[in-house]
Amino acid sequence: MGDVGSRPHHQLDVWQDASGLVESIYRHTAGFPAEERYGLTSQLRRAAVSVPSNISEGAARRSRKEYVHHLSIARGSLSELETQLLIASRLGLAETSSELDDHVERVFARLNALIKRLAEPAARID
């Protein structure tokens, strides 16, 4: 695999931030009970991984419409992640984390900004 920065999406702040969120989610769920391995632990990790994955897939597409579509999927996965974090907290599986909440909000803001920029008529996709 190439060095980070070898693909266009590697330069995107939103992709970098979303990739960091995956690491944070893996650390956050490491202490979940073993019986949650195939439950919330798996759901949280899959939703987190889906965010940078869809950003990179969208960036690899040649049409703006497809790019925005994949960014929208990433935003949906981020919404899932946010809901699952709330459920985990309500079930007492983990304490809420303002740092993690802030990270989720930052990725939301960056995704929304990129989607908005790509929706502009003169936007470039490179």
Domain limits of the chain? 17-119
Residue with tokens 């699952």: 84
**How far is Cα 106 from Cα 113, in angstroms, rounded to an integer?**
11
Residue 41 confidence (pLDDT) above 70? yes
pLDDT of residue 119: 86
Tokens for 63? 């049409």
Residue 89 confidence (pLDDT) above 90? yes
Specify the amino acid at residue 74. Answer: A
Say how far residue 52 (Cα) sits from the centre of its chain. Answer: 5
The yes or no reply on domain 17-119 and CATH 3.40.50.2300 is: no
Mean pLDDT across 36-45: 93
Residue 95 confidence (pLDDT) above 90? no
pLDDT-derived band of residue 124, with 50, 70 and 90 as boundaries?
low
Residue 125: HSE in the Cβ half-sphere, 13 Å Cα cutoff: 19
pLDDT of residue 62: 81
Cα dist from 79 to 54, 84, 100, 101, 125, whole Å: 14, 9, 14, 12, 25
Say how far residue 1 (Cα) sits from the centre of its chain. Answer: 21
The whole-model pTM stands at: 0.89
